[in-house]
Amino acid sequence: MKKITLIIACILFPYIYSSAQGGMWVPSMIGERIKDMKSKGSSLSADDIYNTKKPSYKDAVVIFGGGCTGGMISPDGLMLTNHHCGFSQLQKHSSVTHDYLKDGFWAKNRDEELPNPGLEAKFLIRMEDVTDKILAGTNGQNATDTERIKQDNIEKIIKESVEGTDYMAEVKPIYYSNQYYVYIYEVFKDVRIVGAPPSSIGKFGGETDNWMWPRHTGDFMYFRVYAGKDNKPAPYSKDNVPYRPKKYFNIATKGINEGDFTMIYGYPARTQQYLFSEGVDDILNYSNPAKIKLRTMRLEEIQKARKSDPAIRIAYAYKEANIANAWKKWQGESLGLHRLNTIDKKRAYEMSFNEWAQGKAEYKDVISDLKNQYDLIHDYALVRDYYNEAIRAIELIKAVELAGKWSSNTTDTVPAALTGFYKDYYPEIDIRIAKKVLAEYMNNVPKEFIPVEVNKNISDAGGVNKYIDSLFENSLFVSEENLKAGINKGYNFIEDPAVKLYSAFRDMYRNKVLNYLETYNANIESLQKVFVRGQQEYDAEKKTNRAFFPDANHTLRVAYGSVSGYSPEDGVWYVPVTTLEGIIAKDNPEDYDFNIPQKLRDVHSAADYGRWETNGTIPVCFLASNHTSGGNSGSPVLNGKGELIGLNFDRTWTSTMSDIEFDPSICRNIGLDIRYILFVTEKVCGAGYLINEMTLKK
């Protein structure tokens, strides 16, 4: 049966790839896509999108924090991103007394805006192809010397790129190191919370609706970027002033229709469109199932606990959301890869490529060599997943990690990182999780990857559960108070049982796993570089019309498509727009995730929609066919004129495999309509004064 499937896939291969669209395009090369974009409804020029000599839309897009995107929407530094992107900052400012997660937060003046130490907004100054400079001097060198020369060249380029400025730079490869770019950023370190709706709007639907359609989540949050009086980056100070951006987005209030052009400008984190078939097999049949099961165990315990105590709900709100987001994504990804028969299609392609490659010395062995390397890395990759999702998921282990060298070189005070950790830590929850995940590790990981001393301690204790009970009873790392008492008594923290457990697994991972992973991954990357280069030649010769864009690597990219519904299964068609009526239909005061604010009920009851009313209601979310990934959260969604029509915040569950294979028939990103954002801001939260900063276009 598998053989027949492969034969069919081979026959259909040219159609499979020629029909696929998607794409995350490099802005400095967007001129190559402008003709296609204009044919789909855009009126923008390449210079409108990316320009280093005059303001362009690249100057209105920022890397927000560590992994999201934001967009500038006023001349006074006002920035819009997702509620879930700012959730951790909002949580840090929250308490039972001031529950900003539950009630929302709105600064009535700029003095009330909340600072966030460590939060950054990065603006791209320019990007430049430096492939030739990176590879200079590598011809004829062996692999070790080539890597050394490349690293020396990278350091030199970064130094030259920022010399005499306050900028920072990084070099990143695309097309699996066949090409290199340097990215120069201006980094602002004073970013303050301006406004956030209550979680009953910003996280409406909770994990039930996450990744799903129809969607009604008001996933937005306002921040403001501050600068010194010279408009340059400056550390937080009360004397700082709102940053004056080179460019900000005008707001489109006219609305959208199915078929309208859409463009997303942001920082997608990671895709693997050119991943070898064995890599997909590892994800689909080994990695995802293990990680899903382990996170299910954690979520079950957190969800039981947070229903019992408001303080636990606040403390674990971000943790739960962070765990659940990838957990649900992996499930959808696996379903999508099964549905698309991605592995079989890739194997069919690789078979055809391999036949073509036999007459070409550079490519003739790359398929067999990749297969061998994936066979070698398999067990080590599985241990990595269990180590990260089981052992390092135990929060007591996290506390020891945060302590770092302090455990062996104790000072008179508890490290600040630990003080922050204990604010949101409940040992009784951690104990229950630790028992489950450690048992799962012991039962599923090959014996050689279980530290001998840990195996003995568990056996001596009479099993995992009794061992964990003893661990938490005897470790001082269960609370800050215990650590302080230990300091006063001169306790030798290096002998703490939690430190010993952490050290045992850390040493095992470093000595038995990490070096092998690094070696095999380096080999795979080297072979994948050749394979991708070969694919470009093969596809050109076979005229497959494949959209050959570089995989995402958390650098600025353009994706474009249109407002579009889709059919997730036979007999079902999803329209591309949801409205306030859907929120009211889902409203349930007995369910925290669906209990909307009374003010929203009142506004709906009175139909007090003001200038945001559309066809007797308020539009909420919309679907579009843009290719997005993690990191695109908070990305501005623009119309053909470059005006802001919404905020990207998710994909549909049937789209989550798009990191590996993009299917234009069902892959959809989910955007939050700008009119709902403005409606909630003004009519529900009473912060219409913020809209006065914006430029509205009808």
Give me the active site residues, please: 84, 219, 633
* Neighbour tally for 521: CB within 10 Å: 15
Long-range pairs for 27-32: beta carbons < 8 A, 24 or more residues apart: 27/58, 27/127, 27/265, 27/556, 27/557, 27/558, 28/127, 28/128, 28/129, 30/558
**Among 437, 558, 578, residue whose Cα is nearest residue 127:** 558
DSSP bridge pairs for 637: 264, 646
> CB neighbours of 604 closer than 8 A, spacing ≥ 6?
580, 584
26 CB burial (10 A radius; 0-12, 13-18, 19+): buried
Q: Hey, what are 507's tokens?
A: 């040493």
Element (H, E) at 80: strand 78-81
The whole-angstrom separation of Cα 373 and Cα 370 is 5
SS3 at position 69: strand
DSSP assigned state of 113: P
Cβ(563)–Cβ(623) under 8 Å? yes
Q: Name 173's bridge partners.
A: 180
Residue burial 526-535, b: 16+ Cβ < 10 Å; e: rest: bbbbbbbbbb
CA–CA gap between residue 544 and residue 437 (Å, rounded):
46
Length of the chain: 698
The type of residue at 210 is N
Distances (CA, A) of 187 to 63, 119, 571: 9, 10, 50
Listed as own residue / partner, the contacts of 684-693 with beta carbons closer than 8 Å and 24 or more positions apart are: 684/197, 684/201, 684/597, 684/599, 684/600, 684/603, 685/104, 685/106, 685/195, 685/197, 685/599, 686/106, 687/106, 687/195, 689/108, 690/78, 690/194, 690/195, 690/222, 693/73, 693/74, 693/75, 693/76, 693/78
CA atoms within 13 A on the CB side of 210: 20
C-alpha pair distances (Å), 474 with each of 86, 412, 512? 37, 21, 29
Distance CA 213, CA 210 (A): 9
Q: Give one DSSP letter per residue of 492-561, joined into a string.
A: -GGG-HHHHHHHHHHHHHIIIIIHHHHHHHHHHHHHHHHHHHHHHHHHHHHT-----PPPP-SS-EEEEE
- Secondary structure (3-state) at 179: strand
Place of tokens 């989910």: 670
In angstroms and rounded to an integer, the radius of gyration of the C-alpha atoms of the chain is: 26
